[in-house]
């Protein structure tokens, strides 16, 4: 390609990018002008967009684009100057021109010269007051299946800008430079940053080992002191006394060196984890896009579909700036389009029907996006007639889905679930929009592919509401990690009803199968080891660890060996050569670098049904706790906050530890001197004696100097962490990032489980 050809190709690409942005401005502005044709700001915005496209088309030599943009600009200028009042036929024609401009900017879909000539003629008739008003024919319904436009990232310019030869760089409205990066490179960056985050977490076991080594040295020094006391009763030679003193000195020096290196490693690990977290968060943010990106053309589609059906419909959108993963956005467009078309066709009534019901002629559809608990929550509601439940009931009987006697007793919630069945439709005749039986079941299927859920609610005569919940990103999943057959597996939290410990007497036999009582119903109990083909372990504990999972109406309890805890996992796809692995959807890495497999809950429930149907479901052996109860480890919690103190006490009690509490450092010091404990957990800022003083006194006491100490403080500055560790603490936990697992995991690291 010659340099001249390269220059032309770059200009065409820039024109295409500008057309994407400016046609979105035109579509949004024209829809607003249809409701209020005299809005000065919208008239100015649309006129500027048409003017900019006219200039850009002239620069790249696209005469058809110049012609279309020119007549659109003339129409908008006339409206600005008050010579023309925009009527629905004008809006129709301007929207048709917007579509033509986008087609002109897409060489593969460029219109024919005759189309351009016909459009210019049409606009000429509309702009001539003496000519009868011409109505632009609404496109056939097949053409209303609007394809998603590429994400617009080009700037919105008031005047044509000089093209830049560096076509991979642009500037946003906020002035930030934007680079075009492929999705594959973003995925690679996220993968590398997540692995970096995992690698930094692998320092934690090394820190824990060094802390244990430090405690072992403390115990060794204490044992040497005890030996010294006993040997004083015997006459020893000078050489023996010198050897004993040398041993004490060497052990003290090694302990000091270990403390220094331990502090250095802790500081390095803290800084490394902070930087890795920032890197990961930044990489993840690069994949996020505003929810508005999925709405390109939706408002226009609702308006055009409404006019074709003789209805007046307006779409209101809230939360357009809500950030969502690119992959999720792409997969959301189809189900959202289907629900919007469904709302226009089935929900909104004709203007005459609405007036008879005391409603405004114009129907309203609201779409709201928001973040809730790590999920993208979408609510799509309309103020139409709602669902005719009696018609649903009749359709169920006619399709022989249920006997008439049973259908008559179905609740509203049960009736609405039938709308999600494949092939179910309330339309008697097939139209371009509906009646083919490809309806809400397709929406539900697409939402489930996103690991999400959709629920329909309605109020007769007042409208319907769809509630969708999907993950913000498919790259990260919040999961419960469990142990099965000495291997780690993760259950996505979105599918978990609850976790529970079942006593042997809680498990009952119903029709030859094991069940337990959960929220007013018997829930089947299955062994994860059988489902995942892992060796079954003997359950010697007093209770059985069970994860209650649900997918739609199916619910089961899955027995596991151990709850490891909740984790945020970066999803790592399995090698494509493996194909579909039964009951597994993906993999991930835990903090220590070990691999965990993420369970495909929907697939697992199918496996349960298969085992039930073939009669191969194994029973879970129920073992009581036959061993004598071992002594529980004791923990002293020192904190002047009643709330924090009680929270920590309950968490530790529920995990099986024996817990004592103290209200300040002095109270804690008195308790330490009078009783025996396996661990001290203390705050820093307290009256009478703060945590630093308490730890310092403890380390000077021969009896207590080897006691493990955890500091839990609101302060998370490096100097505060340094003060706590220098005073002799073995672990420093910030309350700002405090959660149940963090405290309990730290306790287990320091002193192990609750039983001695």
Which pLDDT value is given to residue 177?
Answer: 64
Q: What confidence tier does 68 reach under pLDDT thresholds 50, 70, 90?
A: very high
Q: If residue 479 lies in a helix (H) or strand (E), which one and from where to where?
A: strand 476-484
- Percentage of residues in the chain with pLDDT exceeding 90? 10
Question: In the numeric block, which tokens belong to residue 195?
Answer: 């692995």
DSSP string, 131-193: SPPP-PPPPPGGGGSPPPPPPP-S---SSPPPP-S-TTEEE-TTS-EEE---HHHHHHHHHHH
Angstrom distance (rounded) from CA 101 to CA 108:
13
In this predicted structure, the answer to whether residue 166 has a pLDDT above a threshold of 50 is no
What are residue 324's DSSP bridge partners?
A: 289
Average pLDDT over residues 25-46: 88
Which pLDDT value is given to residue 713?
Answer: 82
**Domain residue limits, the chain:** 3-137, 184-287, 296-471, 476-614, 634-751
In this predicted structure, the answer to whether residue 162 has a pLDDT above a threshold of 50 is no
Lowest-confidence region among 44-48, 259-263, 666-670: 259-263
CATH class of 3-137: mainly alpha
Question: In the numeric block, which tokens belong to residue 714?
Answer: 């609101």
Q: Which residue has the higher pLDDT, 210 or 499?
A: 499
Average pLDDT over all residues of the chain:
79
CATH class of 476-614: mainly beta
Q: What confidence tier does 436 reach under pLDDT thresholds 50, 70, 90?
A: very low
Lowest-confidence region among 218-222, 383-387, 655-659: 218-222
Q: Which residue has the higher pLDDT, 283 or 711?
A: 711
Architecture of domain 634-751: 3-Layer(aba) Sandwich (3.40)
- Pairing label, strands 323-325, 562-570: unpaired
Which residue shows structure tokens 């995925």? 187
Q: What confidence tier does 308 reach under pLDDT thresholds 50, 70, 90?
A: confident
Architecture of domain 296-471: 2-Layer Sandwich (3.30)
- Read off the pLDDT of residues 234-262 as tens digits, 9 standing for 90 and up: 766 777 777 888 888 888 888 888 888 88
Among 652, 646, 641, residue whose Cα is nearest residue 678 = 652
Average pLDDT over residues 8-19: 72
**Residue 345, φ and ψ in degrees, nearest 5:** -75, -50
In this predicted structure, the answer to whether residue 178 has a pLDDT above a threshold of 80 is no
SS3 assignment, position 525? strand
């Amino acid at each position: 390609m010659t340099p001249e050809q390269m220059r032309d190709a770059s200009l065409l690409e820039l024109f295409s990018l500008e057309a994407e942005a400016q046609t979105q401005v035109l579509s949004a502005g024209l829809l607003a002008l249809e409701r209020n044709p005299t809005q000065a700001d919208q008239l100015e915005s649309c006129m500027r967009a048409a003017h900019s496209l006219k200039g850009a088309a002239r620069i790249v030599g696209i005469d058809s684009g110049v012609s279309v943009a020119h007549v659109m600009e003339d129409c908008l200028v006339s409206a600005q100057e008050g010579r023309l009042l925009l009527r629905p036929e004008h809006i129709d024609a301007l929207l048709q021109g917007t579509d033509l401009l986008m087609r002109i900017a897409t060489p593969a879909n460029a219109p024919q010269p005759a189309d351009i000539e016909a459009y210019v003629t049409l606009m000429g008739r509309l702009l001539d007051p003496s000519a009868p008003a011409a109505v632009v024919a609404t496109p056939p319904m097949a053409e209303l299946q609007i394809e998603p436009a590429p994400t617009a990232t080009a700037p919105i310019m008031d005047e044509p800008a000089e093209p830049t030869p560096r076509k991979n760089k642009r500037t946003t409205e906020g002035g930030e430079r934007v680079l075009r990066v492929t999705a594959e490179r973003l995925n690679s960056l996220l993968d590398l940053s997540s692995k970096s985050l995992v690698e930094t977490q692998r320092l934690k076991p090394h820190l824990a080992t060094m802390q244990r080594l430090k405690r072992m040295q403390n115990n060794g020094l204490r044992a040497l002191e005890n030996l010294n006391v006993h040997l004083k009763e015997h006459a020893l030679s000078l050489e023996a006394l010198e050897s004993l003193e040398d041993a004490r000195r060497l052990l003290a020096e090694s302990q000091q060196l270990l403390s220094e290196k331990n502090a250095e490693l802790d500081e390095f690990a803290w800084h490394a984890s902070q930087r890795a977290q920032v890197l990961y968060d930044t990489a993840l943010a690069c994949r996020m896009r505003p929810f508005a990106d999925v709405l390109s053309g939706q408002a226009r589609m609702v308006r055009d579909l409404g006019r074709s059906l003789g209805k007046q419909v307006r779409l209101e959108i809230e939360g357009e700036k809500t950030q969502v993963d690119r992959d999720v956005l792409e997969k959301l467009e189809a189900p959202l389009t289907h629900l919007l078309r469904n709302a226009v066709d089935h929900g909104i009534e004709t203007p005459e029907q609405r007036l008879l019901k005391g409603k405004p002629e114009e129907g309203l559809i609201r779409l709201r996006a928001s973040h809730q608990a790590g999920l993208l929550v979408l609510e799509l509601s309309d103020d139409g007639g709602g669902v005719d439940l009696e018609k649903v009931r009749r359709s169920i009987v006619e399709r022989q889905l249920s006997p008439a006697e049973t259908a008559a007793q179905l609740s509203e919630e049960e009736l609405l679930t039938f709308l999600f069945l494949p092939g179910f439709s309330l339309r008697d005749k097939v139209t371009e929009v509906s009646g083919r039986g490809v309806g809400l079941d397709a929406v539900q299927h697409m939402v489930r592919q996103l690991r999400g859920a959709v629920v329909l609610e309605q109020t007769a005569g007042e409208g319907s509401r769809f509630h969708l919940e999907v993950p913000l990103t498919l790259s990260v999943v919040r999961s419960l990690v469990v142990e099965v057959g000495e291997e780690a597996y993760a259950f996505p939290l979105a599918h978990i009803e609850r976790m529970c410990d079942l006593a042997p007497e809680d498990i009952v036999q119903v029709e030859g199968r094991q069940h337990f009582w959960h929220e007013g119903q018997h829930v089947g109990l299955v062994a994860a080891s059988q489902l995942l083909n892992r060796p079954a372990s003997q359950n010697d504990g007093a209770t059985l660890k069970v994860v209650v999972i649900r997918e739609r109406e199916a619910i089961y309890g899955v027995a596991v060996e151990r709850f490891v805890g909740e984790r945020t996992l970066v999803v790592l796809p399995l090698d494509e050569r493996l194909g579909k692995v039964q009951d597994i959807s993906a993999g991930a890495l835990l903090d220590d670098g070990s691999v965990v497999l993420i369970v495909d809950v929907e697939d697992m429930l199918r496996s349960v049904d298969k085992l039930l149907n073939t009669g191969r479901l194994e029973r879970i052996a129920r073992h009581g706790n036959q061993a004598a109860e071992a002594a529980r480890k004791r923990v002293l919690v020192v904190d002047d906050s009643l709330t924090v103190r009680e929270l920590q006490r309950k968490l530790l009690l529920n995990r099986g530890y024996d817990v004592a509490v103290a209200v300040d450092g002095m109270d804690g010091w008195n308790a330490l001197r009078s009783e025996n404990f396996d661990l001290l957990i203390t705050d820093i800022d307290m009256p009478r004696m703060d945590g630093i003083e308490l730890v310092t006194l403890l380390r000077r006491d021969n009896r207590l100097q080897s006691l493990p100490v955890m500091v839990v403080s609101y302060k998370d500055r490096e100097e505060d962490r340094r003060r706590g560790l220098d005073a002799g603490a073995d672990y420093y936990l910030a309350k700002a990032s405090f959660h149940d697992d963090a405290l309990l995991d730290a306790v287990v690291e320091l002193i192990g489980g609750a039983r001695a």
